[in-house]
Amino acid sequence: MSYRYLLFNKPYDVLSQFSEATGSQASSDSPPPRTLKDYIAVPGVYPVGRLDRDSEGLLLLTDHGWMQHRLSHPRFQHPRTYWVQVERVPDDSALNQLRQGVAVQDYKTRPAQVQLIEPMLLPRDPPIRVRQHIPTAWLEMILTEGRNRQVRRMTAAVGFPTLRLVRVSIAHLQLGSLAPGQWRDLTSEELTLLERLSANQKL
Select from 3.40.50.2300, 3.30.70.580, 3.40.50.300, 2.60.410.10 the CATH code of 1-74+175-203: 3.30.70.580
Instruction: For residues 182 and 70, give the distance between their C-alpha atoms in angstroms, rounded to a whole number.
Output: 25
Catalytic residue positions, numbered: 52
pLDDT the model gives residue 203: 47
Instruction: Please state whether the predicted TM-score (pTM) of the whole model is above 0.95.
Output: no
What is the full DSSP assignment across 93-138?
Answer: HHHHHHHH--EETTEEPPP-EEEEE----PPPSSPPP--TT--EEE
Instruction: For residues 50 and 60, give the distance between their C-alpha atoms in angstroms, rounded to a whole number.
Output: 9
pLDDT the model gives residue 11: 97
- Check whether 27 has a pLDDT greater than 60: no
Determine the angle formed by the axes of helices 150-157 and 92-100, rounding to 10 degrees.
140
CATH class of 79-170: alpha beta
What tens digit of pLDDT does each residue of 139-169 get? 999 999 888 899 999 999 999 999 999 999 9
